[in-house]
Chains A and B, each alone.
Chain A
Amino acid sequence: MEAETKELPVDTMELQMGPSHPATHGTIKFNLKLEGEKVLNCDVEVGYLHRGFAKSCEQVTWTQVIPYTDRLNYASSLINNVGYALAVEKLIGAETPPRCQYIRVIISELARIFDHLTCCGMAASELGAITVGFYMIEARELIMQIIENLTGARLTVTYVRLGGVKHDLPQDFAERVTQSFKIIRKLLDDCDRLLSRNRIFLDRMSNVGVISQETALSYCLTGPILRATGVSYDVRKAFPYLVYDQMDFEVPLGTKGDNYDRFVCRISELDQSMRIVEQALTQLPVGPVWIDDPRFVLPEKEKVYGSIEGLMHHFKIIMEGVKVPPGETYLAVEGGNGELGFYIVSDGAGRPYRVRVRPPCFIAMGAFHEMIRGYMVADIVPTFGMVNMIGGECDR
């Protein structure tokens, strides 16, 4: 007896997912068009965390912008600090001493480890692998402790200054890093054993959210999402800044451009970042961490309290701001999510005329409908997790 199976009539349904959804960390709304559970189209609504970053930057001095940059991608605030400082220094035409450059490389890579651990840990725990989530949070905590020991803050660090970093590395920094990396490597091995042959994880991640190389390039994607499609574009290799050209590291690439490749790219980048930190620590030269230029650097406290010249110097920099020569420039660094660019315009005053951030995850959200079209509603969760949208950076 053969029953004839009839096609069930399917109406397209519109569903609004968000702005505050438990499975999407971050305030974002997906206006979905569904056929059953299949996503036909997805209109992404961003902007719930818009705070007017650019407008605020125009109101304060060049130095006071640094705390604002902390709050862009708060999972890798050190990279934002470095990117902004480099852009302003490029406009000034100043080059920081070698030790400062090495320190900036070290902190950038620590922040990248932090960013990738957050992204991968959260994405895994959203798929039910909560153990992996906890292991990665544990690893992240070790990085966080290093950063806290270095800067005194955990997330919004404000460690980099124009023309230097706030202070030198603490005495036990290298030792701490070596010990923490040993534990992190062990934790990552555990995560690998938990995930790499895990049926549920593989089924949810591989061949989901696929985006082709051409589409990714057309959508201006950068970072792990672009590299997962096999395009080797990393700002650290393509346009080296700081001392990245002296570091020996590889750019992990994917092949298919699906969520699993993105995950593997990020995990492999963790390894590379740890390698860079270790190399930079062994090569770390001795010397000052500030440029020797009284126009941009605050005087020492003894001079401020002990002499009228020092006091006036301090007062001028604090009240009027560092004078940046008129002009405009663009400088990009490799952030956790891709190319993080700063386009700054100065009119010669103590305040920025315009600060523009190229936000990698905002641009990635612009391609989100391409990644999710044709997949299930449940696939939004891992895909969105691997985009690693951070509200502070996306909405600014």
Chain B
Amino acid sequence: MPDASADLSNIRERLGSKVLEILQPQGDEVLILERAGLRESFRLLKEDKQLDYDFLSDITAVDYWRKKETRFEVVYQILSRGRRRRLRVRVPVPENDPSVESLTPLWRGANFLEREIWDLFGIRFIDHPDLRRILLYEEFEGFPLRKDYPVNLVQPRVPERAVEGTFVDEASHNKLLRLKKTLGTKI
């Protein structure tokens, strides 16, 4: 890309073939990175004195089901506090092997964020210390933010009790109910 900023071309130089594409939509800086050796790429972005992207802002994922060739994309928002720059890193993840290297060794805050992505998208994070569901419960089946998960599917945690007629609590201390019982239908 001819008009890539000096920063982005610097990154491309350092990371070489790891960089698949460089985009600059709406004034943002976007890097599309290869999945292999992702942690090392991030380590360079974080620890290099010139780049200095030392703060992880957010990790999320997008499911491009039937829209893109590689179905998932994990999206990282990192920023350099010193240089006041944001960088967005997108990593395509194929459907047949939805896994990415975990960033918890670099930023411990990645723990919760990656657990959330595992929970809602079913993307595994390799070397994650504690990959459990976080917002949903362990018994939940499927990954709700995938586009092929139906929005109206109900998975009650406790099976619902069948309701027959109006529910009457016989053991209740309800005064009115007791009065009705003793007086019959008079009230």
Is A312 interfacial (CB-CB < 8 Å)? no
Pair B86/A330 contact, Cβ less than 8 Å? yes
Which residues of B72-86 are within 8 A (CB) of A? 75, 77, 81, 84, 86
**In the assembly, what is the distance between CA of A141 and CA of B20, in Å?**
53
The 8 A CB mask of A38-59 against B (1 = contact, 0 = none) is 0000000011001010111011
Pair A343/B60 contact, Cβ less than 8 Å? yes
Is A239 interfacial (CB-CB < 8 Å)? yes
Pair B58/A341 contact, Cβ less than 8 Å? yes
Nearest CB on A from B176, distance (A): 30
**Among B2-10, B108-116, B158-166, B177-185, which stretch is in contact with chain A?**
B108-116
CB-defined contacts of A90 to chain B, threshold 8 Å:
26
Is A319 interfacial (CB-CB < 8 Å)? no
**Count the A residues whose beta carbon is within 8 Å of the partner chain — how many?**
43
List the B residue with the shortest CB-CB distance to A329. Answer: B26
Pair A47/B77 contact, Cβ less than 8 Å? no
Give the contact-size bracket for chain B. 35 or more
CB-defined contacts of A233 to chain B, threshold 8 Å:
55, 81
User: With A330-B86, A339-B57, A345-B62 as given contacts, are A363 and B25 in contact (CB-CB < 8 Å)?
Assistant: no
Pair B112/A341 contact, Cβ less than 8 Å? no
**In the assembly, what is the distance between CA of A396 and CA of B120, in Å?**
12
CB-defined contacts of B116 to chain A, threshold 8 Å:
362
CB-defined contacts of B55 to chain A, threshold 8 Å:
217, 220, 233
Is B51 interfacial (CB-CB < 8 Å)? no
CB-defined contacts of B136 to chain A, threshold 8 Å:
47, 50
Is A70 interfacial (CB-CB < 8 Å)? no
Nearest CB on B from A195, distance (A): 31
Is A143 interfacial (CB-CB < 8 Å)? no
6 tightest CB-CB pairs across the interface, nearest first?
A220-B109, A366-B112, A47-B135, A219-B109, A358-B58, A356-B60
Can you show 20 pairs from A to B with CB atoms below 8 A apart? A52-B144, A55-B151, A56-B151, A218-B107, A218-B108, A220-B110, A238-B84, A327-B25, A327-B26, A328-B75, A339-B57, A343-B60, A356-B58, A356-B75, A362-B116, A363-B109, A366-B111, A366-B113, A367-B108, A396-B135
